[in-house]
Amino acid sequence: MRFSSSAALLFAASLATACGGPLEEETATSDVAEESLASQEQDLDESCVGSDVVLAQPDGAVVTAVFPHCSYADASAASNDGTYDQPSCPHRFVTEVTGLGGNYAQPFVEVIPATSNVTESACKGIAISGSAFGYKNGVWFGLGSVTTTGTWYPATLFWPAHCSLRVNIGTGGSGYSKMRVTGLGAALGVFKGRVRTGVRIGNGPC
């Protein structure tokens, strides 16, 4: 398989005890989570796009893109729990989205918290990491990587305070027949939790 690393970084998780438990409401700074998650920076390679990557639960999934009319939609899959651990793409849940037909798609990774009542400190302590790859003309291309933490939005006149755990990977792209999107979510950079990976598709309102 040929491979082109147009985006040259893949952040691997440093999980001291990847026990597969739920995301926990523990106090942590974003610095702790980010440093723990990105402590093993390495060059992008074929590990996440090889034929031996598992694309079935609990480690991955395959979904077919269905383009909406005059709106946006997600073509994505979520892990059953936090036990995902790819042998060739370690600690990642991998979703392969087929049927893109060259249309524009925006890859994303989203952490699914164990509770809907996520506090500000817990939000900032949730680490999020992901990478995306596009396939065309028999070649996999790196589309970007992200390593960050949850973003807390204070209450406003119109919206209550809330935690955002969804992050775009790169700027998206077109011309690809399929994409693979990897993801990891962890509290304190240690306890893995559920994660959703996939792409946003559609042209918006007509």
Determine the Cα angle at 171 with ends 37 and 153, to 5°: 60
Q: Where are the alpha helices (DSSP H) in the chain?
A: 30-37, 120-124
Residue 206 lies in a domain: no
pLDDT, one tens digit per residue, over 133-159 is 999 999 999 999 999 999 999 999 888
Residue 33 lies in a domain: yes
Dist CA 180 CA 200 (whole Å):
13
pLDDT for residue 167: 97
Q: Are 177 and 133 in contact (CB under 8 A)?
A: no
**Token representation of residue 78:** 């979520």
Share of the chain above pLDDT 70, in %: 77
Residue 93 lies in a domain: yes
Q: How many independent structural domains does the chain possess? A: 1
Residue 41 has pLDDT above 50, yes or no: no
Residue 7 has pLDDT above 50, yes or no: no
Residue 125 is classified by DSSP as T
pLDDT, one tens digit per residue, over 171-204 is 999 999 999 999 999 987 677 899 999 999 998 8
What range does the domain containing 139 cover? 2-201
Residue 182 lies in a domain: yes
Residue 92 lies in a domain: yes
pLDDT, one tens digit per residue, over 71-118 is 999 999 999 999 999 888 999 999 999 999 999 999 999 999 888 888
Dist CA 77 CA 30 (whole Å):
26
